[in-house]
Amino acid sequence: MDAEDPSTQTTVDLSKPSEAGERRQAVRHPCRPGLARCLLIQRPGDLWPAEVRDISANGLSLVVLRRFDPGVEVLVELGNKKQKFWRRLKVRIVHARLNQAGGWVLGGAFERELSDRELRPLI
């Protein structure tokens, strides 16, 4: 087998779940409804309210009324008014699927890992 021959090389799409099971390296925490506020911003003036379903140090799952294609980068503004906590983070959309209750379920990866101090007010 020749290592330079492209027909013999295997590629793996890391944007899809593997058959071996979960690939996430950080624990996902469910968000209590209404606790974390979230807006998706694709470009200035293009704001989409979203509901955070769960969050980890590396990413989040949310429900929004508009589909965002995998690979798209958006800004996500997360906040907890009661604890006076707000963060605007760059997120790369990893997957999008139709939500049975309406809208789209999006999975996104943060550009940088959240600290425990940043994560705590959101769960």
The verdict on residue 99 lying in a domain is yes
Using alpha carbons, select from 8, 123, 107, 100 the residue that is nearest to residue 60: 107
> Comparing C-alpha atoms, which of 105, 102, 106, 51 is closest to residue 73?
106
Q: Is residue 102 part of a domain?
A: yes
Which pLDDT tens digit goes with each residue over 10-50? 333 334 444 434 454 678 877 766 656 788 888 888 899 99
Residue 21 inside a domain? The answer is no
The boundaries of the domain holding residue 73 are 28-122
pLDDT tens digits, one per residue of 103-117:
999 999 999 999 999
Is there a contact between 51 and 63 (Cβ–Cβ < 8 Å)? yes
Decide if pLDDT at 4 tops 50. no
With a CB cutoff of 8 Å and minimum separation 6, the contacts of 42 are 48, 68, 72, 74, 75
Is residue 74 within 8 A of residue 42, CB to CB? The reply is yes
Residue 86 lies in a domain: yes
Coil vs helix vs strand at 121: helix
Residue 33's CATH number = 2.40.10.220
Number of compact structural domains in the chain: 1
Mind listing the pLDDT tens digit for each residue in 56-97? 999 999 999 999 999 999 999 888 888 888 889 999 999 999
In a domain, 1, yes or no: no
